[in-house]
Amino acid sequence: MVCFRLSPVPGSGLLLLCLLLGAVSSYALELNLQDSKNATCLYAKWQMNFTISYETTSKSNKTVTISDPSSATYNGSICGDHQNGSKIEVQFGSGFSWTAKFTKDVSTYLIESISFSYNTNDSTTFPDAKKKEIFTVHEPVALKIPLDEIFRCNSILTLGMKDVVQHYWAVHVQAFVQNGTVSTKEFLCNEDKTSTTVVPITPTTLPSPTPTTTPAQKEKPEIGSYSVNNTNGTCLMASMGLQLNVTQDKKNENRFYLKEVNVSMYLVNGSVFSTANNNLSYWDAPLGSSYMCNKEQTISVSGAFQINTFYLRVQPFNVKEGKYSTAQECSLDDDTILIPIIVGAGLSGLIIVIVIAYLIGRRKSYAGYQTL
C-alpha cells in the first residue's frame, strides 16, 4: 500500500489517501480471549509472515516465505495474572506455532518475548531439507505499555536477522484488559509516530533493465477508482493509474497539495524496501476543486523511487454528493499553449516570405548600365 498525505490550509488537519497496489501476503489474525466471567481479558489483531532459510541435501541454501496462517487455532492462550503472566499461542499450517508472552506490574504490562517454531519434516514446505527436525527461535521484545492502553503498530516491525526473519504489521494488542473493555487509547510504536500507515505488498521479482539501445514502450497501467467515506458520506475521491519505478513547504492559500508519500514493500530476497518523503509539492489546486492530469506525471519520492501517475484525478476536501468538482488541469494537459505557438510560427513564416519577396524584387529593379 502506498500512502499519500494531502495538506490543506493551516489548522484544518491532514488527510491520508492509501491506495492498495497489490494483494497483502498474509491473513489478519484476531483473538478475543475471555475469562471465566466471559469478560475480555486479552485482545489481539495482527498480520505476520516469516522468511526461513534452510540447508538442502545438496548443501545449498533455500529460502521459503510462510504467509498463510488462515486456518490458525489459539490453543494454549491464557489470560494470566500477576504470577503467571498472559500468553497468546497460535498454531497453523503443518507444524508451525507462534507464542507471545506478556507480564505486568502495577501500572504497565510488558510484551516480554516472541517465539516461533517450524518443522522441517514438512516435505511440502521443506521438500529437500538436510535436517528433519523442529526448530524454535526465541526473540526478546521487552516493550513496556501502560495498563488500559492498546498497543498499535501499523508499520512493519522486523525481528531476527539470520535463518528466520519475522515481519509484523497492522498490530493491535492489549493484554490484561481492564474491566472487560478493550481500550480506545492507543500506545503507538516509534515507527507509527514518524510515518504514515504502510502495509507491505506481495513480493514481486524486479524486471531486468531494458537495454538503452532498444527501449521498450511503457505500458500504461489500469485506472483505479478510490474513495474515502465518513458518517457524512464521501469525503475524498480519486481515480488514477499508478506505476512504481524501483522544497520547501508551500503557503496554504486556500489550496491543497500532495505533501507526503510513504512506501514499504517486500523484495524477492525477503528484505523490506522502505522510503518516505514529507517535503513534496505536487497536485496543487484550490480547495473545493479537484486536480486532474491525464498525461503521465512523475512523482519523485527519492533518488531510488519514483511513482508515475496516468489519468489522475483527485479531490481530498469538500467533496459534495460523491462527485468531483471542477478540475484544475496540470500544465502537461494544457493544449492552449499550442495556439500562441502556431500563431507565432505563422507570423515568422510570413515575415520570411516578405523578406525573400523584397530581396527578389529589389534585384530585378536594378538594371545598371546598358550597352547601346
Per CATH, which fold does 223-329 belong to?
Answer: Porin (2.40.160)
Find where cell 495556439 sits: 339
Residues in CB range of 323: below 8 A, 6 or more apart: 237
Q: How would residue 264 be classed by pLDDT, with cut points 50, 70 and 90? A: confident
pLDDT > 90 fraction of the chain, expressed in percent and rounded: 28
Distance (Å, whole) CA 260 – CA 272:
20
Pick the range with the lowest mean pLDDT from 102-111, 122-131, 298-307.
Answer: 298-307
Mean pLDDT of 13-30: 51
Output the pLDDT for position 361: 76
Count of C-beta atoms within a 10 Å radius of residue 199: 22
Q: How would residue 15 be classed by pLDDT, with cut points 50, 70 and 90? A: very low
Pick the range with the lowest mean pLDDT from 108-122, 131-145, 201-215, 218-232.
Answer: 201-215
Mean pLDDT of 73-84: 88
Pick the range with the lowest mean pLDDT from 37-46, 84-93, 245-254.
Answer: 245-254
Output the pLDDT for position 27: 57
Give whole-number Cα distances, 12 to 8, 15, 256, 287, 318, in Å: 7, 9, 11, 11, 12
Mean pLDDT of 352-367: 75
Asked if pLDDT for residue 19 goes beyond 50, the answer is no
Tens digits of per-residue pLDDT, 167-190?
898 899 999 998 999 999 999 998
Supply the DSSP string of 108-123, one letter for each residue.
EEEEEEEEEEEETT-T
Output the pLDDT for position 213: 47
Tens digits of per-residue pLDDT, 22-34?
333 445 799 999 9
Higher pLDDT, 9 or 112: 112
Q: How would residue 145 be classed by pLDDT, with cut points 50, 70 and 90? A: very high
Tell me the CATH number of domain 29-193, given options 3.90.600.10, 3.30.420.10, 1.20.140.10, 2.40.160.110.
Answer: 2.40.160.110
Average predicted confidence (pLDDT) for the chain: 78
Asked if pLDDT for residue 212 goes beyond 60, the answer is no
Output the pLDDT for position 204: 38
Distance (Å, whole) CA 279 – CA 259:
6
pTM, entire model: 0.51
Asked if pLDDT for residue 9 goes beyond 60, the answer is no
Tens digits of per-residue pLDDT, 291-341?
999 988 888 888 778 888 999 999 888 888 888 888 888 877 776 556 677
Q: What is the CA radius of gyration of the chain?
A: 31
CA-wise closest residue to 240 among 24, 23, 19: 19
Distance (Å, whole) CA 215 – CA 162:
39
Output the pLDDT for position 110: 93
Asked if pLDDT for residue 14 goes beyond 50, the answer is no
Grid cell for residue 63: 529460502
Residues of the chain with CATH 2.40.160.110: 29-193, 223-329
Which residues on adjacent β-strands are paired with residue 255?
286
